[in-house]
Structure 1
Amino acid sequence: MLSVAILAAGKGTRMESSLPKVLHKISGKSLLQRVIDSCVELKPDQIFVITGHKSKEVQKSIPNDKKIHFVIQEPQSGTGHAIQILCREVKNHEGKLLVLNGDVPLIRPSTLKRLLYLHDSKNADVSLITTKKTNPHGYGRVFTNGDFIERIVEEKDCNDLERENPLINAGVYCFNWNNLSSIIKSLQSNNNQKEIYLTDTVSLLKNSLGLEVEDNGELQGINNRIQLSECEESIQNSIKEKHMLNGVTFINKASCSISEEAEIGKDVIIEANTHIRGNTKINSHCIIGPNTFIENSNVGLNCEISNSTVYASQIIDSIKIGPYSHIRPNCKISSFSKIGNFVEIKNSKLEEESKVNHLSYIGDSIIGSSTNIGAGTITANFDGQKKHQTKIGKNSSIGANTVFVAPINLGESVTTGAGSVITKDSKDNSLAISRTKQVNIKNWKRKKS
């Protein structure tokens, strides 16, 4: 039986934030969720998340899962105290207990599997991950005798000689839970921090082993915003290198960010300051950016999107968007269409070869194929209580500065006069025009103020 305990009770004072430390995000996912995801690949029987500071907020952040249970640590008196509470709350101590920190988000499932294998093969009481750091400041030092770990001394309890030891504790443990439960109550807070250390279990258990791994960044704990940024950079470099090896070009890699879920086809060019988030798919031969944000959208082949934002929409093939276009959720822009500068589209479908070239708002609309929407066109879709739809048939020509007061239904090949306010439906092959006749008054003199 494999149980997992994730320590997530701390406040994270050095983050200088009202948000619990473990809820800060890297590449769109919280530190805690990343640790949980790594553990899920081990197929544990149960996961215990030990919370304390703002426990309700932490619990709310985790999707419901019958295998995930929450234990509250009050007060927060150290890592050993957290496990003391867990052992008291949970009566069945069968099998292995894997203990991780909720602020070490880059830990790999493959590394955890190696730790579990070592633990099982050596029938250990406790196995833990260690690594050597050039600058071990802030970490507990690990002292060994052959293959066995004798003791761990926390940074603030080290003397000058002990601080020179580069072998550090990564804070990832695998215990024989029954053996741990037999000594866990004996842990005391007789140290400089006046906390109960989980590391003290090492000297109390007979068979304590270490798995030394290379310091490649996966064991980086996060205590401040600098370390948070470093982990974000590490993940982003890994994501972008994967895409580059698969045929994607980044013009300025450092200025871009890509979600882990995103899919990008071959021969896509990502210009500077472009951000692709969520479950976005960009198909081959596109040019995206510069200064573009795309989230949870599907972009087809041969598209160009520059200086624009696209949210939760479908962009089919051979479409040009931008500059300065805003595509809001639930839009479908069909092939060979053009969306120009300062155009906003929301909850609308544009059929093939439609053009909305500039300075327009299209909301809750269906635009037929080969229709041209003139500059300054607005669909007035909200009557103060609910939204209404505008339908414009194919091959239509909408004059500049036309306002459609929805609900409106225009047939095919309809033309509207520039500056018209359209309030009534119009049938196929018609001209719709609604504006006052121009009057020129000769010798007009303005009144003096």
Structure 2
Amino acid sequence: MVAVAILAAGRGTRMKSDLPKVLHQLGSSTLVGRVLESCVSIQPSRIIVIVGYRGDLVQKSLLDNIDNDNIPTLEFVEQTEQLGTGHAIQQLLPYLKEFSEDLLVLNGDVPLLRPETLKQLINTHKENQNSATILTANLPNPKGYGRIFCDTSNIVTQIVEDRDCTAAQKKNYRVNAGVYCFKWPALAQILPQLKPNNDQQEYYLTDTVNFLNPVMAVDVNDYQEIVGINDRKHLATAYEILQMRVKDDWMAAGVTLIDPDSITIDDTVLLQRDVIIEPQTHIRGRSTIGAGSRIGPGSLIENSQIGKNTSVLYSVISDSVVADHTRIGPYAHLRGDSQVGSHCRIGNFVELKKATVADRSNAAHLSYLGDATLGEKVNVGAGTITANYDGVKKHHTKIGDRSKTGSNSVLVAPVTLGEDVTVAAGSVVTKDVEDDSLVIARSRQLVRKGWRLKQSEDNG
């Protein structure tokens, strides 16, 4: 069995933020949230998060956003002073007294590690019965990273932090990724012996290598996996890497991205074959897009489900569901758990909020439908609104099958229109209307022939 320790105590001063560094967002998740999710496939027996700066926020964020049943109950250990990686792991000594297996150490600000990389690290560790196994990478520009020196069998002979390297040592491009697997009983004996003998006066976890044997290095296949986040520029770089992965995978799976550089897709999104994503489109959260649908250009889909062969043009859809063969937009806005059936049209400048629209219904122009339920084959005339708010509470509007509203109608909720009801243009409907009715709710038009506005002396 393997226990996991995630280092998440630092503030991250270079982020220039009051938020702990590990809680900054990378796509659909926080940095530390991504690190946590990468652990799922290795099935750890325990996960311990070492917190420090605003640790209560880190703890709350992780507990509030866990949605994977395979993650064990999280444990949190406080590091009151941040005196280095070795000092952080020293905090585990009281909590792992009886633990006799392996400990995987991860950094909460290294969010791009693939689960298969962690599996490779652990398997190598176990197969070779190492005391410690270190994830390494050969970087084209290793500045800022500690260097790893190995023999021909990948046995580590020395680790030197970048700031402590000589000019000759800095020519070695193999770096420490800050990810380790230790035999915990061996490490526990060494931890109390660490000394802060370096420029930073910190306790380095890498110093334990001098006391453990054997220690082996495992090179990561893609060096971009070990990108660490220290500032906003690093965060942007990590997002570019993540987006490249996601978009490459979807194009290989049969999705067309018209202009990949202008499109963003969260890695929590699910797309089916023959989906076409137009430029300047962004798909976020737990969204799904059905086969053959065309999204964009210029659209935002967030935490929503879009059916098959549906189009969404220059529109925003959040927390909503759209069924098959439906047209959305241009410039429509669906939000607040709205649901649209199949073969519908929600057109130009139409807003739906917490509205349900049944199959083959249309709202083509300039309408607001809030807190409303529309039956099948309903036609909403241009400018129709449901007046759902009385200044204190929201109220519901119901429109039956095959009913029609004329242009510039106002339905003052709570109100129900039956089936096959026609609302005359310009009506303000305040009372329920029974089936098979025409409702006219407006003042009679008056025409006074020969009438003209009297001119005053001042305006001639």
> 1:318-337 alignment to 2 at 5 Å?
318-337=325-344
> 1:114-129 alignment to 2 at 5 Å?
114-129=120-135
What are the Cα deviations for residues 392-434 of structure 1, in whole angstroms up to 9, with x where unaligned?
1222221111111111111222121221111111122222112
1:105 is matched by which residue type in structure 2? P
Cα distance, 1:215 vs. partner? Answer: 4.1
Change (3 A) 1:145 1:282: closer
- SS of the residue corresponding to residue 182 of structure 2 reads strand
What are the Cα deviations for residues 117-142 of structure 1, in whole angstroms up to 9, with x where unaligned?
22222222211111222211000011
Name the Cα RMSD after superposition: 1.7
Cα distance, 1:201 vs. partner? Answer: 0.5
Residue of structure 1 equivalent to 2:186: 179
Supply the distance in 2 between the matched residues of 1:244 and 1:174 (Cα, whole angstroms).
35
2:54 is matched by which residue type in structure 1? K
- SS of the residue corresponding to residue 444 of structure 2 reads coil
Residue of structure 2 equivalent to 1:443: 452
What are the Cα deviations for residues 357-414 of structure 1, in whole angstroms up to 9, with x where unaligned?
1111111112222221111111111223322211112222211111111111112221
Supply the distance in 2 between the matched residues of 1:435 and 1:207 (Cα, whole angstroms).
89
Cα distance, 1:107 vs. partner? Answer: 1.1
1:19 counterpart = 2:28: no
1:19 is matched by which residue type in structure 2? L
Supply the distance in 2 between the matched residues of 1:2 and 1:320 (Cα, whole angstroms).
50
Change (3 A) 1:93 1:435: same
Residue of structure 2 equivalent to 1:199: 206
Change (3 A) 1:446 1:412: farther
Residue of structure 2 equivalent to 1:57: 57
Paired residues of 2:139 and 2:223 also in contact (CA < 8 A): no
> 1:97-108 alignment to 2 at 5 Å?
97-108=103-114
Cα distance, 1:9 vs. partner? Answer: 0.7
Counterpart pick for 1:406 among 413, 418, 422 = 413
Residue of structure 1 equivalent to 2:9: 9
Paired residues of 1:94 and 1:178 also in contact (CA < 8 A): yes
Counterpart pick for 2:387 among 380, 383, 389 = 380
Supply the distance in 1 between the matched residues of 2:60 and 2:171 (Cα, whole angstroms).
42
> 1:285-434 alignment to 2 at 5 Å?
285-434=292-441
> 1:9-158 alignment to 2 at 5 Å?
9-63=9-63, 66-147=72-153, 148-158=155-165
Q: How many residues align?
A: 449
Supply the distance in 1 between the matched residues of 2:221 and 2:343 (Cα, whole angstroms).
51
Counterpart pick for 1:240 among 244, 247, 258 = 247
Identity of aligned residues (%): 46
1:84 is matched by which residue type in structure 2? Q
Cα distance, 1:67 vs. partner? Answer: 3.0
Supply the distance in 2 between the matched residues of 1:210 and 1:53 (Cα, whole angstroms).
31
1:409 is matched by which residue type in structure 2? T
- SS of the residue corresponding to residue 168 of structure 2 reads helix
Change (3 A) 1:90 1:362: same
Change (3 A) 1:446 1:204: farther
Paired residues of 1:156 and 1:193 also in contact (CA < 8 A): no
Cα distance, 1:296 vs. partner? Answer: 2.1
Change (3 A) 1:276 1:446: farther
Supply the distance in 2 between the matched residues of 1:246 and 1:190 (Cα, whole angstroms).
52
TM-score by length of 1: 0.96
What are the Cα deviations for residues 129-165 of structure 1, in whole angstroms up to 9, with x where unaligned?
1122221100001122443212211111112122111
What are the Cα deviations for residues 304-362 of structure 1, in whole angstroms up to 9, with x where unaligned?
11111112222112111111101112222112211111111111221222111111111
1:8 is matched by which residue type in structure 2? A
Unaligned runs of 5+ in 1: none
